[in-house]
Amino acid sequence: MDLAGKTAIITGSNSGIGLGVAWELARVGADVILNSFTNRDKDHALAESIARETGVTARYISADMSEGDDCRALIEEAGVCDILVNNAGIQHVSPIDQFPTDKWDAIIAINMNSAFHTTAAALPMMRESGWGRVINIASAHGLTASPYKAAYVAAKHGVVGMSKVIALETAEEPITCNAICPGYVLTPLVEAQIPDTMKEYGMDRDTVIRDVMLTRQPSKEFATVEQIGGTTVFLCSDAAAQITGTTISVDGGWTAL
């Protein structure tokens, strides 16, 4: 697998899955553009360490994925986009009758609307270069639901639906669009919840992971950021050229239940 000469833009990639995807794409030769809404030395240092370790060109561009204009500006500033990974996402958990409107709006904007804006800006570049991959990081919650996650589930189902439309609109071109649907992935965000949950339930770490976090994941193992990155790399391969408009679950069997 060789993605040398291709440029990938990964939204929300200064931590977790997005950063893992960036590393895996760089390891097979793609130039990568990292993004988040902050603009700190340590954000730029992440890109520098990917460049140093893998030999690709790596940049960090600050842009707020809750703002449509910023989403489009990210793609314009990059100037080239062969692979677009729409990954930026946030979560808020609350019963629907108490769900704060500002949280609803932020989740819909960052988790769903951003993929519309970035894709709209990137498709002309893919058409110009004659090749493209749009890969949306959805979720098992793009296919199933859980209580108290109305905005997240709505946004992720929306992303799965949008992926099918993008696939149909590009079907006769060398461009594909798919959604990856991870189950629970052990990102820093998830790791940070473990100590509080241990305290709340009076359980040890392993019991919290197995009986609280992974109750719906039959494998009883987290997926890893490397596995999500590897699935992204596969979707960029020639073997995946006829895979478009579908979802790939990386969820330890969650959606088989």
Catalytic-residue membership of 60: no
Which ranges in 95-235 belong to alpha helices (H)?
Answer: 101-108, 114-129, 150-169, 188-191, 193-201, 205-207, 225-235
Total number of residues that touch ligand NAD (CB under 6 A): 27
Window contacting ligand NAD (CB under 6 A); options: 143-151, 169-177, 181-189, 195-203: 181-189
Please name which of 227, 226, 194, 224 lies closest in space to residue 212, comparing C-alpha atoms. 194
Residue 118 is a binding residue for ligand NAD (CB under 6 A) = no
Rounded Cα gap, residues 65 and 80, in angstroms: 18
Q: Could you say which of 60, 148, 152, 201 is catalytic?
A: 152
Strand order from edge to edge, sheet including 175-182: 58-62, 31-36, 7-10, 83-86, 132-137, 175-182, 247-250
Among 118, 119, 139, 232, binds ligand NAD (CB under 6 A): 139
Residues 6+ apart with CB under 8 A from 150: 96, 99, 104
Nearest distance, CB of residue 38 and ligand NAD, angstroms: 7
Among 73, 80, 145, 189, binds ligand NAD (CB under 6 A): 189
Nearest distance, CB of residue 59 and ligand NAD, angstroms: 15
Residue 89 is a binding residue for ligand NAD (CB under 6 A) = yes
Residue 17 is a binding residue for ligand NAD (CB under 6 A) = yes
Residue 82 is a binding residue for ligand NAD (CB under 6 A) = no
Per DSSP, 219 falls in state T
What does residue 29 show for φ and ψ, rounded to 5 degrees?
100, -5
Catalytic residue numbers, as ranges: 152
Residues in contact with ligand NAD by CB under 6 A are 12-18, 36-37, 64-66, 87-90, 110-111, 137, 139, 182, 184-185, 187-190
